[in-house]
Amino acid sequence: MNKITSLFTVSVLSGVITLGAYKLLFDKEVTNTQAVVWENKTPQSVVKSVNYAAESTDFSNAAEAALDFVVHVKNINVSKYQTYSLQDFMYGYQPQTKERKQVGSGSGVIISEDGYVVTNNHVIQNATELEVTLNNNKTYKAQVVGTDSKMDIALLKLDTNDTFNYAVFGNSDAIRVGEWVLAVGNPYNLNSTVTAGIVSAKARNLTNDGIQSFIQTDAAINPGNSGGALVNVRGELIGINTMITSTTGSYVGYAFAVPSNITKKIIEDLVQYGNVQHATIGIEGGELNAAAAKELNLDVTQGFYVNRVMPNSGAEKAGIKSGDVIIQLDDQKVNSFSALSSYLNSKRPDEEIDITLLRKGKEIVAKVKLSKKELGQFAYNGILLENITPQDKQKFRINDGVKIAEITNPDFIEYASILTNSIIIRIDGQLVKSAQDANKLLAAKSDRQKTRMEIITPNGKQLQLIL
């Protein structure tokens, strides 16, 4: 019995010692192994995997905040028309005048405590009366402060002394492709609708002139969403939803928003100056690709190639030369003309920016003071226009006009040899004295309106061009 007890005691002690040793050695080794694994992972990679996982991202706070500052905009257009009866024709009675009321709708975003609202220009175009309804169903009349038809932005002011919750602007230059976003608006009159998606692309250009630059998203946007908010997961405004690309008129996976940095600059200009101040570097050229790089004998395939520097421009004063390749504006990479335009659209004349460029394989940084766009050239529907020179005045025997410097619209390429270096004398019957005059006349037009130009070709022929 004593032997059995002794053996049992020895076995228990052996087991305890074995378990203790295992615990001491192997548990410590496992702990150290885990520590090594976590040390090898950078904090950024750990944070990214947590913050951007779909199943762990909570959109509710951002959505709740956005619903308070996204509004329903109702466009009421009242037109008068006359009705005739048989008696009117027989006895010469005066026809009856009646009113026809048409109602359109869209969305808007409150951007200040005192009731300034930003929306799309096409939402409020031709409105006789504007009515804005909040998420709490309160309704206010609104007046138009100003518009920018090219970027499709309009600024309204609510007719009230009430105070409002308003959107906080985010930095649209800092957003990344793949980042989660929410679209908030009133599609098909379904008030306060929230949809989620990601940023599909940045600096997306949908025109021939490269002026517009949109954020592309796959968040569902439909008719009625126009003018609504595109927000990030923190509820910050990063864009104004503007349009969709669709053969059916409804959402098919592609939607576009005006970046918040451009929107903010436009509305500040409208309040301060009454119109939008456009800035330019003072260069002509085009974006690079593999074919262009091969033709120009360049090693780089991305960037903006400088073909010409405008006289007395900020680019000329900063020493930028023909043949330079712009690859960065401040801290923003430039890989297309729309990326360059997007950044410039958020700047004003007289601001200074750092331009990083390549010259004969060497990287150079030039500090450029931006000038007014009217002083150089501007684009309309893929046609580059610039002021005429004294030599042009002498050659064509004219005092006023604007020169067609280049044709980039593919619809007009076959006429490029005729139109390039031609002079526009009148636009819609109005004499054009400068590029600034032409810019004002063309900026007031919508994309659907026709434009009639009276031009003189380089060989002296007078033509009419209808766009």
- State residue 189 phi and psi, 5-degree precision: 65, 20
For 375, the token pair is 């002083």
Q: What whole-number distance in Å separates Cα of residue 346 and Cα of residue 200?
A: 21
Q: What whole-number distance in Å separates Cα of residue 252 and Cα of residue 222?
A: 9
3-state secondary structure of 394: helix
Whether the Cβ atoms of residue 254 and residue 244 lie closer than 8 Å to each other: yes
Query: What's the farthest any 2 CA atoms get from each other in the chain?
Result: 139
Q: What whole-number distance in Å separates Cα of residue 191 and Cα of residue 102?
A: 20
* Catalytic residue status for 371: no
Active-site residue, from 72, 105, 107, 122 = 122
Q: What whole-number distance in Å separates Cα of residue 217 and Cα of residue 101?
A: 35
The one-character DSSP state at 411 is G
Other CB atoms within a 10 A radius of the CB of residue 245 amount to 13
Strands 129-133 and 237-244: unpaired
CA distances from 166 to 142, 163, 174, 322, 460 (A): 16, 9, 21, 46, 57
* Catalytic residue status for 152: yes
The one-character DSSP state at 210 is S
For 91, the token pair is 């006895």
* Catalytic residue status for 278: no
Active-site residue, from 72, 148, 152, 172 = 152
Q: What whole-number distance in Å separates Cα of residue 171 and Cα of residue 388?
A: 39
Helices (H), 312-379: 314-317, 337-344
**Taking Cα atoms as reference points, which of 189, 187, 203, 355 lies closest to residue 279?**
355
Active-site residue, from 172, 226, 342, 371 = 226
Q: What whole-number distance in Å separates Cα of residue 151 and Cα of residue 304?
A: 22
Q: Which residues contact 389 (CB under 8 A, 6 or more apart)?
A: 403
The catalytic residues are 122, 152, 226
